[in-house]
Structure 1
Amino acid sequence: MSMNNKQRWMGGVVLLGGGVLLAALLLKGNEEIEQDKAQAEITHPIPKTDSTPKTAQPAQDSDMVSLQPLAVDVETEKRLLEEQRRSREKAVAEQEARAAEFLKMQQEAEAAAARKAAEEYAALNARRAAEQESSDNIPPEVAEDDKAKAQRLAEEKRKQDEKKKAEQQKVDQQKADADKKATEEKRKAEAEKKAAEDKRKAEAEKKATEDKRKADAEKKAAEDKRKADAEKKAAEEKRKAEADKKAADEKKRKAEEAKKKAEADKAREIMESGDKNWMVQVALAANQANADAVVSKLRAKGYKVTTSPTSKGIRIMVGPAKDRDVADATRKKITSDDSLNMKSAWVIDWVPLDQR
């Protein structure tokens, strides 16, 4: 009786100690993971973005030190996020390994206790069978006690199995929670990584657009300046060419006027001196009024005009000149003057009435 009680007590102590050890190690593992996470977040804080919901933060975030956003480039953020992800995965893996090790230790302790109890129970049955064979005087209360012990051992075994099952379920639940937490943290890290990448791409596209706009503006400004310079140069060259042409035309006009004046002076001098035998007839007016109008036009040009009545009208002549060549030169000059409009002038050998 005392031996069975001692064995039962030892088995209970082993089970209780294993459970306490497992709980302590699990608690310690959780505390170490939380400490590692807190240290990692303090050392490499993760910048919060507007897309991260506030309700997804762990409960212990309220106790953490308020951190300022990172002032680093995207590559550094990506490296820090990758280091934090690896640290979390390592912590979760270590926790799972410790939990599996603790579970294995508990299972081995329970198996050893059960094995030892089974061995003791088998030895007890063997001893009782030997005692029963050697003596038929076994008290009824001993038999009753053996039956009660067997029931108690069966009940204890059932309770141990239920406890083992509950602990296994608890470990499975913890593992599932750890896997879920790791998955959630991985999803968050990927979302933050994607947000950082999208932000980097948006900034790069914005910068490229701004650079292109500036380049286009500078190109357009340069093109406008080039066109303005070209137009200014062309206008200056045109103005200069027009001025040169005007000066050349003015010079030519003055030269022609000087030449015409010289010719007129020469013709007048020739016509006013000499024998005065040749005249240039420019028109034959029907009446005196028409003759006076033509005479006024010719005299305004500096010509010496003579009129002579005929049976057909009033003859209007310029001259006389001493020879035919001089008179013909005068004729050409008169016919080429568009303002006089006397295209039909001709040279005649004219003798005054007083000399006929």
Structure 2
Amino acid sequence: MNNKQRWMGGVVLLGGGVLLAALLLKGNEEIEQDKAQAEITHPIPKTDSTPKTAQPAQDSDMVSLQPLAVDVETEKRLLEEQRRSREKAVAEQEARAAEFLKMQQEAEAAAARKAAEEYAALNARRAAEQESSDNIPPEVAEDDKAKAQRLAEEKRKQDEKKKAEQQKVDQQKADADKKATEEKRKAEAEKKAAEDKRKAEAEKKATEDKRKADAEKKAAEDKRKADAEKKAAEEKRKAEADKKAADEKKRKAEEAKKKAEADKAREIMESGDKNWMVQVALAANQANADAVVSKLRAKGYKVTTSPTSKGIRIMVGPAKDRDVADATRKKITSDDSLNMKSAWVIDWVPLDQR
């Protein structure tokens, strides 16, 4: 908007103010005139305020009452007319003010329209005269620049406000999400703690039950082992006692047998009936003894075996003379195929003769 438009707007406003003041003054004058006319038409009687000295009434004087100039009904009618006059004046004044405002608005609109037309014509003329944007009037350029700055500032403020509101909404949403997440995490933590506690109690109970079961099982196993060991020890003791008794019985029997054999051998020796044998080996078992016997018999020797407590005695003979038996011994020891270098001569009594 240029200076010319500003001046035109100021003139229009000033003229409107003058017209409004004139209408208001005219309305007040009409109201005062109406009041004055009402007072002239219906005068209000005045009472004499000066006190008069009471005079004695004469017998000849007549006292008469003067009628009032205005009665009550007339007073009410006058007041009603005055009220109606005031309301009519106020209504007319308001109508004139509204008409004046309408005229003022129409005048302002016409002035603005005219100013816009003049401004458009001025811009068209200047645009036609000047091709470069450098020749644009400073006030126009300044107005456009200020308008652009104002619009940019308003847009920036709106963007900042919108951004702040969006940030606030986002922050509220983030806080709500954070709170919900925290509550969910807390609930899950409490649930997990309760579950862990339940599991720990269950594991503790299971461990305790297992420990008791293991203890009972171990006690039963220990008792069984103790009973078995006790029984085994008793059986072993009994077996050892039986074995000891059997060994003792066997020992006594062997001692008795040996004593009998010794007695019989002594008796035979004392009677002079002796046989000389060449003992060639003492086999550990019957198989070894049979092998040695086969070798000797293959050479033509007469072989006799006799079991003893140390093994099976293998002998060649018998011979009535020791020298004959010794000659047989030398023959056997010199035979490399027999490999019996440790043969010796013994005096031997057959079992059937003992």
Q: Give the Å deviation of 1:132.
A: 4.8
Q: Is the 8 A contact 1:271 1:321 kept in 2?
A: no
- In the alignment, the residues of structure 1 paired with residue 177 and residue 306 of structure 2 have an alpha-carbon distance, to the nearest angstrom, of 139
Q: Is the 8 A contact 1:279 1:320 kept in 2?
A: yes
**Unmatched segments (≥5 aa) in structure 2:** none
Q: Give the Å deviation of 1:105.
A: 1.9
Q: 1:295 to 1:288 in 2, by over 3 A?
A: same
- In the alignment, the residues of structure 2 paired with residue 210 and residue 50 of structure 1 have an alpha-carbon distance, to the nearest angstrom, of 127
- In the alignment, the residues of structure 2 paired with residue 227 and residue 121 of structure 1 have an alpha-carbon distance, to the nearest angstrom, of 125
Is the deviation greater in 158-167 or in 169-178? 169-178
Q: Is the 8 A contact 2:274 2:347 kept in 1?
A: no
Q: Is the 8 A contact 2:283 2:289 kept in 1?
A: yes
Residue aligned with 1:55, SS: coil
Is the deviation greater in 87-96 or in 178-187? 178-187
Q: State the Cα deviation string for residues 113-135 of structure 1 (Å, max 9, x = none).
A: 22222222233333344445477
- In the alignment, the residues of structure 2 paired with residue 127 and residue 121 of structure 1 have an alpha-carbon distance, to the nearest angstrom, of 10
Q: State the Cα deviation string for residues 85-139 of structure 1 (Å, max 9, x = none).
A: 2222221222112212222222222222222222222333333444454776558
Q: Is the 8 A contact 2:278 2:346 kept in 1?
A: yes
Q: Is the 8 A contact 2:280 2:314 kept in 1?
A: yes
Q: Give the Å deviation of 1:76.
A: 2.4
Q: Is the 8 A contact 1:274 1:322 kept in 2?
A: no
Q: 1:260 to 1:171 in 2, by over 3 A?
A: closer
- In the alignment, the residues of structure 1 paired with residue 148 and residue 45 of structure 2 have an alpha-carbon distance, to the nearest angstrom, of 64
Is the deviation greater in 171-180 or in 138-147? 171-180
Is the deviation greater in 105-114 or in 130-139? 130-139
Residue aligned with 2:47, SS: coil
Is the deviation greater in 250-259 or in 36-45? 250-259
Residue aligned with 1:349, SS: strand
Is the deviation greater in 84-93 or in 69-78? 69-78
Q: 1:343 to 1:137 in 2, by over 3 A?
A: closer
**Unmatched segments (≥5 aa) in structure 1:** none
Q: Is the 8 A contact 1:46 1:81 kept in 2?
A: no
Q: Give the Å deviation of 1:246.
A: 198
Residue aligned with 1:46, SS: coil
Corresponding residue for 2:27?
29
Residue aligned with 1:275, SS: coil
Q: TM-score with structure 2 length normalisation?
A: 0.30
Q: State the Cα deviation string for residues 300-321 of structure 1 (Å, max 9, x = none).
A: 9999999999999999999999
Q: Give the Å deviation of 1:32.
A: 1.8
Residue aligned with 2:69, SS: coil
Q: Is the 8 A contact 1:281 1:346 kept in 2?
A: yes
- In the alignment, the residues of structure 2 paired with residue 317 and residue 341 of structure 1 have an alpha-carbon distance, to the nearest angstrom, of 15
Q: Is the 8 A contact 1:132 1:138 kept in 2?
A: yes
Residue aligned with 1:123, SS: helix
- In the alignment, the residues of structure 1 paired with residue 234 and residue 70 of structure 2 have an alpha-carbon distance, to the nearest angstrom, of 58
Is the deviation greater in 278-287 or in 177-186? 278-287
Q: 1:83 to 1:143 in 2, by over 3 A?
A: closer
Q: 1:141 to 1:307 in 2, by over 3 A?
A: closer
Q: 1:312 to 1:228 in 2, by over 3 A?
A: closer
- In the alignment, the residues of structure 1 paired with residue 50 and residue 231 of structure 2 have an alpha-carbon distance, to the nearest angstrom, of 63
Q: 1:347 to 1:29 in 2, by over 3 A?
A: farther
Q: 1:15 to 1:193 in 2, by over 3 A?
A: farther
Residue aligned with 1:316, SS: strand
Is the deviation greater in 68-77 or in 263-272? 263-272
- In the alignment, the residues of structure 1 paired with residue 341 and residue 54 of structure 2 have an alpha-carbon distance, to the nearest angstrom, of 112
Residue aligned with 2:53, SS: helix
Match for 1:69 among 35, 44, 67? 67
- 1:247 corresponds to 2:223: no
Corresponding residue for 1:17?
15
- In the alignment, the residues of structure 2 paired with residue 182 and residue 37 of structure 1 have an alpha-carbon distance, to the nearest angstrom, of 79
Corresponding residue for 1:233?
231
Aligned-residue RMSD, C-alpha: 38.0
- In the alignment, the residues of structure 2 paired with residue 299 and residue 95 of structure 1 have an alpha-carbon distance, to the nearest angstrom, of 181
Q: 1:145 to 1:246 in 2, by over 3 A?
A: closer
Q: Is the 8 A contact 1:85 1:186 kept in 2?
A: no
Is the deviation greater in 209-218 or in 283-292? 283-292
Residue aligned with 1:110, SS: helix
- Higher radius of gyration, 1 or 2: 2
Q: 1:337 to 1:127 in 2, by over 3 A?
A: same
Is the deviation greater in 178-187 or in 287-296? 287-296
- In the alignment, the residues of structure 2 paired with residue 343 and residue 73 of structure 1 have an alpha-carbon distance, to the nearest angstrom, of 197
Q: Is the 8 A contact 1:308 1:316 kept in 2?
A: yes
Corresponding residue for 1:183?
181
Residue aligned with 2:273, SS: coil
Q: Is the 8 A contact 2:45 2:69 kept in 1?
A: no
Q: Give the Å deviation of 1:162.
A: 29
Q: Is the 8 A contact 1:99 1:171 kept in 2?
A: no
Q: 1:263 to 1:109 in 2, by over 3 A?
A: farther
Identical columns (%): 100
Q: Give the Å deviation of 1:298.
A: 245
Q: State the Cα deviation string for residues 306-343 of structure 1 (Å, max 9, x = none).
A: 99999999999999999999999999999999999999
Q: Is the 8 A contact 1:281 1:316 kept in 2?
A: yes
Q: 1:228 to 1:122 in 2, by over 3 A?
A: farther
